[in-house]
Amino acid sequence: MTTTTAPAAGAVVPRHHSPVRRPSLLRLTVVELRKLVDTRAGRWLLITIGLIAAVVVTLQLIYAEEADQTFANFFVPSLLPVGVLLPVLGILSITSEWSQRTALTTYALVPRRERVVTAKLVAVMVAALASVLASLALAAVGTLVASAIGGAGTWQLDGSLIVNAIILQVTSVLMGAAFGLLLLNPPLAIVGYFLLPTVWGVLGEMVRPLRGPSEWLDTSKTMEPLFSSDALTGEQWGRIAVSLLAWMVLPLAAGLFRTLRREVS
């Protein structure tokens, strides 16, 4: 029964090509950005993030005092809900490769797994930057509407506020990605990401000896100054750095180690 002909056989000639180069990090990043939006789930997550920011601005328009309807006041409140959802994006970007088993294809095409992980981290950071731009754009729309309907509509915004917002959103998404890398399972990583810091925060409130360390390790406390336009003190930066070391850098390092060694099947 051995056959010697096949339909459209010519198209599977094993060709000898010129030496091939490995895909650049830029190329891999573009692939990962595309993966963020090429499924319904990913697209809806991004749309939800945008919608929530829009809802926050709308609520400001309806309920905030007219004098408070300024560009900065539209911008800052939209950061928080977006900052809650961005980590989910980071988690799903990493873990869906394992839950959907596409890791088999991804790592067969790019066996240097650290390059794929780097590309994913860059991609979600780009998404975080884009979310800040979206927040700015929505705040601008809010300000325009406010000045039309009698609100303050002042445009003044400190540059430091934008820098703080960028730090806030980029670190949020990276913390999510770090949890994803470490746990490699979407539900586990999402629950872990939201539960652990909360438990830690509650413990920090309840257990007196933990109150001191909590000031340095509870990201909801250490990151709080980033929501204002006041310049941060050295100690505040120190606290942010220490808490990020615990919740971002360590899980990232341990997660990378685990991802590089894990059997793909």
Spell out the residues 6+ positions from residue 68 whose beta carbon is closer than 8 angstroms to its own.
Answer: 60, 152
Would you count residue 39 as binding other proteins (CB under 8 A)? Answer: yes
Would you count residue 187 as binding other proteins (CB under 8 A)? Answer: no
Q: State the nearest-atom distance from the C-beta of 43 to other proteins, in Å.
A: 10
- Out of 60, 78, 93, 96, the only residue in the binding site for other proteins (CB under 8 A) is 96
Contact at 8 Å (CB) between 178 and 255? yes
Would you count residue 3 as binding other proteins (CB under 8 A)? Answer: yes
Q: State the nearest-atom distance from the C-beta of 120 to other proteins, in Å.
A: 13
Q: Which is nearer to other proteins, 105 or 220 (CB)?
A: 105
Q: State the nearest-atom distance from the C-beta of 26 to other proteins, in Å.
A: 11
Would you count residue 26 as binding other proteins (CB under 8 A)? Answer: no
Would you count residue 31 as binding other proteins (CB under 8 A)? Answer: yes
Distances (CA, A) of 22 to 109, 111, 112, 115, 118: 10, 11, 10, 11, 15
* % helix, strand, coil for the chain, step of 5: 80, 0, 20
Would you count residue 28 as binding other proteins (CB under 8 A)? Answer: yes
Phi, psi (rounded to 5 degrees) for 9: -60, -30
Q: State the nearest-atom distance from the C-beta of 260 to other proteins, in Å.
A: 10
Q: Angle at Cα 176 formed by Cα 170 and Cα 174, nearest 5°?
A: 30
Would you count residue 4 as binding other proteins (CB under 8 A)? Answer: yes
- Out of 52, 54, 110, 246, the only residue in the binding site for other proteins (CB under 8 A) is 110
Distances (CA, A) of 76 to 35, 175, 210: 29, 20, 30
Would you count residue 126 as binding other proteins (CB under 8 A)? Answer: no
Would you count residue 107 as binding other proteins (CB under 8 A)? Answer: yes
Q: Angle at Cα 33 formed by Cα 110 and Cα 35, nearest 5°?
A: 70
* Segment contacting other proteins by CB under 8 A, of 24-32, 155-163, 180-188, 224-232: 24-32
Count of H helices and E strands in the chain?
Answer: 11, 0
Distances (CA, A) of 41 to 93, 146, 188: 11, 34, 18
Interface residues toward other proteins, by CB under 8 A: 1-9, 11-17, 19-23, 27-28, 30-31, 34-35, 38-41, 96, 100-105, 107-112, 261, 263-265
